[in-house]
Amino acid sequence: MDKFETVEGVAAPMPLINIDTDMIIPKQFLKTIKRSGLGVHAFAEMRYHEDGTENPDFILNQAGYRNTKIIVAGDNFGCGSSREHAPWAIGDLGIKVIISTSFADIFYGNCFKNGILPIKLPQDKIDLLMDDARRGANATMTVDLVNQEIKGPDGGVIKFEIDAFKKHCLLEGLDDIGLTMEKEKSIDNFEQKMAEATPWI
Amino acid sequence: MAKTLYDKIWDAHIAHEADDGTCLLYIDRHMVHEVTSPQAFEGLRNSGRKVRAPEKVLAVADHNVPTSPMIGGVAAIKNNESRIQVQALEKNVKEFGIEYFDTNDIRRGVVHIIGPEQGFTLPGMTIVCGDSHTATHGAFGALAHGIGTSEVEHVLATQTLIQSKSKNMRVTINGSLPNGVTAKDITMAIIGKTGTAGGTGYVLEYAGQAIRELSMEGRMTVCNMAIEGGARAGLIAPDETTFAYLKGKPRAPKGEMWDQAVENWKTLFTDDDAKFDLEIEMDATELIPNATWGTSPQDVLPIDGTVPFPTDFEDEGRQQATQRALDYMGLEAGMKLTDIKIDRVFVGSCTNGRIEDLRAAAAILKGRKVADTVDAMVVPGSGLVKMLAEEEGLDIIFKDAGFDWREPGCSMCLAMNDDQLKPGERCASTSNRNFEGRQGFKGRTHLVSPAMAAAAAIKGHLTDVRDI
Ligand code: SF4
């Protein structure tokens, strides 16, 4: 995984609550056996008309939002299924950061495994950022993970919290499996213990 | 110290704990299906890693498979991408030595139905699957939750998952369910109360008399939709109902081992003075059958209710979502739920595709006919459910009523195969998600119990099953 670096770019407002994984990547695009190439299908049912042409109402189709790197979203972003195709599609679209009051648990975890930073903030901060995001290309934001802060277009700074281990893994681009395998001895010991305690498993 | 059921299972599975509390949770069982696994196997292959414990993994193709008879096998699946995905699974299970129920195996079916059926799911276990409805297995007192594909790869390689402990909530349903009210109505009513994000960050334990009185099938229905309330896992403490269901299942322990296991399972309950982070209580006697009107499972109402106005909500985001849902669903605010006409009926899925669900729908359909305007289908959750239903003659009741009797699979729960709504079509469905496009592009879903689905099929509109 690539190391996560400071992101500077356009933020798009998506105030709708409960943007679910079926909206992020409809199931007809889950039939892939690859991780890449899903960006063109991200948000497909909001983004395209039935005939495949772009729907100009959808924020990412509007001038000024073509190069969005940050999404400011309504509550409970990413609810629904466990499909990792959701962060794959969003990441493939060039989005690096999603900011909301809350995320669905599985989606939240999936983001970190794909180099995307989900940031949780209280409603009043989201309202500020949502207003900034509505100003399009004139109002870029900077997300600095090292210092855990978001710089708004007018110089305001908002701090955010994040789990130290997750931050470390994102910044270093670390592979979870490799890290776990270093603890193989503990897993071996555990299996031995369980074989005696619950042999039917 | 007094422990909750979740505490007990969690503590028994910590293989390693880091200083910051991040744990390696040991995983006892892993179920794999075709949609969320190909990239995980590809990852293993690319890094030269093996599956650590193939005997703890069970694979099946369910999301993509046709529900017409699979004559000609996988090679005959018409949709190219679906076929490639199933073939990729078949290749992967062979290469990595994993047990697989193929598309002609009588034991095949929706992943969350076949695990319990085989006794692959047992109390006290940790169970994962690359599918959010893995919560279903929590009905047995197993800590079961959905994971993403990166985590599927992680579990395949290490048999563990990196986890921090969740918060713990108990939902107690007091009293007994009135007639005509089912497990589905309970689980939807809870989501109506807590919202789709109310359970986020929590593991939920369901308790109380109404839960105790449910069969295992009903308990699975309740836990299945824990995720729709935002909770990653739902739990119900095992009891005699659980043990009776499991006894004699192919993968359940036998003989002395069975006795030893049951002794252990009897310790799996929340201690009297254990503390929860949040407690919710509901009165079962006040419940009536319910149905969803909108595009989120929290858009649920008692069947005698009316479709809400956006202004019924204070929150701006909720108002916007309500307006959007009304437009999408093609409904007028203020109309009665029972005036909503339907075109299709779907009975099936891991929520309500078990034998008891088919019995409940058949009991309503017996001697009656599906309305002329309705196209209805029933998709048994597994080959074994289908076989048992046919032994009981349920297939005849369904067919006589005008239902299409299909082969097992996920089918129109998520419409990845050919079973889909057409744009604008409206369906009374026993599945778990009414998201936009879930059952087909621009399709409209109303979530209901199997009995309510059967009632809607007969009347041609949403109906209170107690009036039939
Ligand atoms: S039946 Fe529906 S919810 Fe269940 S596993 Fe299949 S697609 Fe998912």
Q: How many CB atoms sit inside 10 A of residue B425's CB?
A: 17
Domain assignment of residue A137, yes or no: yes
List own/partner pairs for B81-84 with CB under 8 A and 24 or more apart. B81/A31, B81/A32, B82/A31, B82/B416, B82/B417, B84/A31, B84/A33
Whole-number pLDDT of residue B190: 97
**A1 in contact with B, Cβ within 8 Å:** no
* A128 domain residue, yes or no: yes
Flag the least confident range among A29-33, A186-190, B284-288, B333-337. Answer: A29-33
Give Cβ neighbours of residue B67 (< 8 Å, ≥ 6 apart): B379, B406, B407, B408, B409, B411, B417, B419
Partners of B347 in the β-ladder? B378
Q: Which residue has the tokens 């195709």?
A: A85
In three-state form (DSSP H/G/I as H, E/B as E, the rest C), the secondary structure along chain B is CCCCHHHHHHHCCEEEECCCCCEEEECCEEEECCCCCHHHHHHHHHHCCCCCCHHHEEEECCCCCCCCCCCCCHHHCCCHHHHHHHHHHHHHHHHHCCEEECCCCCCCECHHHHHHHHCCCCCCCEEEECCHHHHHHHHHCCEEEECCHHHHHHHHHHCEEEECCCEEEEEEEECCCCCCCCHHHHHHHHHHHHCCCCCCCEEEEEECHHHHCCCHHHHHHHHHCCHHHCCCEEECCCCHHHHHHHCCCCCCCCHHHHHHHHHHHCCCCCCCCCCCCEEEEEEHHHCCCEEECCCCCCCEEECCCECCCHHHCCCHHHHHHHHHHHHHHCCCCCCEHHHCECCEEEECHHHHCCHHHHHHHHHHHCCCCCCCCCEEEECCCEHHHHHHHHHCCHHHHHHHHCEEECCCCCHHHCCCCCCCCCCCCEEEECCCCCCCCCCCCCCEEEECCHHHHHHHHHHCECCCHHHC
Q: SS3 for A115?
A: coil
The whole-angstrom distance between A164's CA and the closest CA on chain B is 9
Alpha-carbon span B395 to B391, nearest angstrom: 9
Q: Which of B31, B221, B349, B445 to mutate to test the pocket of ligand 1 (most atoms within 8 A of CB)?
A: B349
Residue A42 contacts B where some CB pair is shorter than 8 Å: no
User: What is the distance in angstroms between the Cα of A124 and the nearest Cα belonging to chain B?
Assistant: 13
Nearest Cα of chain B lies from the Cα of A58 at a distance, in angstroms, of 14
In a domain, A76, yes or no: yes
| pLDDT range class, residue A158, cuts 50, 70, 90 | very high
Residue stretches of chain B with pLDDT short of 50: none
Residue in B closest to A182 by C-alpha? B158
The angle at the Cα of B45, spanning B40 to B48, to the nearest 5 degrees, equals 125
Phi, psi of B456 (to 5 degrees): -65, -35
The reported pLDDT for the residue numbered A82 is 86
State CA B29 to chain mean position distance: 17
Convert B259-288 to b/e letters by CB count within 10 Å (16 or more is b).
Answer: eebbebbeebbbeeebebeeebebebeebb
Atom 6, ligand 1: residue with shortest CA distance: B410
Does some domain include residue A188?
A: no
Q: B255 CA to middle of ligand 1, Å?
A: 34
Structure-derived torsion over alpha carbons of residues B184, B188, B190, B194, reported in degrees to the nearest 10 = 160
From residue B66, alpha-carbon distances to B36, B77, B312, B365 in Å are: 18, 7, 42, 25
- The pLDDT, as a whole number, for residue B21 is 83
Pairwise CA distance, residues A123 & A129, whole Å: 10
Instruction: For residue A167, tell me if it sits in a domain.
Output: yes
CB B125 within 8 A of CB B28: yes
- Split at pLDDT 50, 70, 90, the class of A28 is confident
The residue whose CA has the least distance to atom 2 of ligand 1 is B413
Contact A104 B200 (CB under 8 A): yes
- Token representation of residue B61: 């193709």
Q: What is the mean pLDDT of residues A137-161?
A: 93
Beta-carbon contacts below 8 Å between A and B: 182
Can you say whether the dihedral through the CA atoms of B106, B110, B111, B112 is positive or negative? negative
Which of B47, B159, B196 lies closest to A187 in CB terms?
A: B159
Question: CB burial class (10 A; 0-12, 13-18, 19+) of residue A127?
Answer: middle
Cα Rg of chain B, angstroms? 21
Query: What is the distance between the alpha carbons of residues A133 and A139, in angstroms, rounded to a whole number?
Result: 7
**Is A198 inside any structural domain?**
no
Using only C-alpha atoms, chain A has a radius of gyration, in whole angstroms, of: 19
Query: Nearest 10 degrees: CA dihedral of B32, B96, B251, B158?
Result: -70
Enter the tokens of residue B438: 């879930």
Which ranges constitute the DSSP H helices of chain A? 21-24, 44-47, 85-92, 105-112, 123-133, 164-172, 176-181, 184-197
- The 10 Å Cβ neighbour count of residue A178 is 11
**Is residue B459 within 8 Å of residue B417, measured between CB atoms?**
no
Contact yes or no for B262/B238 (Cβ under 8 A): no
Is A79 within a domain?
yes
- Residue B76 has what pLDDT? 83
Residue from the list A181, A187, A200 with its beta carbon closest to the beta carbon of B15: A187
Quick check: A1 pLDDT over 80? no
A141, part of any domain: yes
Cβ neighbours, 10 Å, residue B386: 24
Residues whose CB falls within 8 Å of the CB of residue B397, separated by 6 or more in sequence, listed in order: B362, B365, B366
Domain count, chain A: 1
- Nearest C-alpha neighbor of A145 from the set A2, A19, A23, A7: A7
Neighbours of B27 (CB within 10 A): 27
Residues 6+ apart with CB under 8 A from B99: B54, B55, B57, B58, B59, B93
Residue in chain B nearest A20 by alpha carbon = B435
| Structure tokens, B292 | 């969803």
Other CB atoms within 10 Å distance of the CB of residue A148:
14
**Which domain range does residue A104 map to?**
6-175
Q: No. of H helices and E strands in chain A?
A: 8, 7
CA triplet B31, B37, B39: central angle to 5 degrees?
155
Residue pair B118/B253 in contact (Cβ under 8 Å)? The answer is no
* Pairwise CB contact (< 8 Å): B132 & A18: no
Amino acid (one-letter) located at B459: K
Q: What is the residue type of B322?
A: T
Q: What is the CATH number of the domain that holds A71?
A: 3.20.19.10
Residues in chain A within 8 Å Cβ distance of B264? 198
Under a CB-based contact definition with an 8 Å cutoff, are residues B288 and B258 in contact? Answer: no
**Integer Cα distance of A59 and B282 in angstroms:** 41
Indicate yes or no: CB of B320 within 8 angstroms of CB of A15. Answer: yes
Name every protein residue with a CB atom under 6 angstroms from any ligand 1 atom.
B 62-63, 110-112, 131, 133, 349-350, 410, 413-414, 431-432
Which residues between 158 and 197 in chain A have a beta carbon less than 8 angstroms from any beta carbon of chain B? 163-165, 176-177, 180-181, 183-184, 186-187, 189-191, 194
Instruction: Give the residue carrying structure tokens 């998709």.
Output: B379
pLDDT for the residue numbered B59: 98
Q: A51 vs chain B: nearest CA distance in angstroms?
A: 12
What's the rounded Cα separation, in Å, for the pair A162 and B229?
Answer: 24
Q: Which of B60, B413, B433, B435 to mutate to test the pocket of ligand 1 (most atoms within 8 A of CB)?
A: B413
Phi–psi pair at A69, nearest 5 degrees: -115, -15
- B345 CB near a chain A CB, below 8 Å? no
Q: Cβ contacts of residue B220 below 8 Å, gap of 6+?
A: B112, B116, B136, B137, B139, B350, B354
User: Could you say which DSSP state residue A108 is in?
Assistant: H
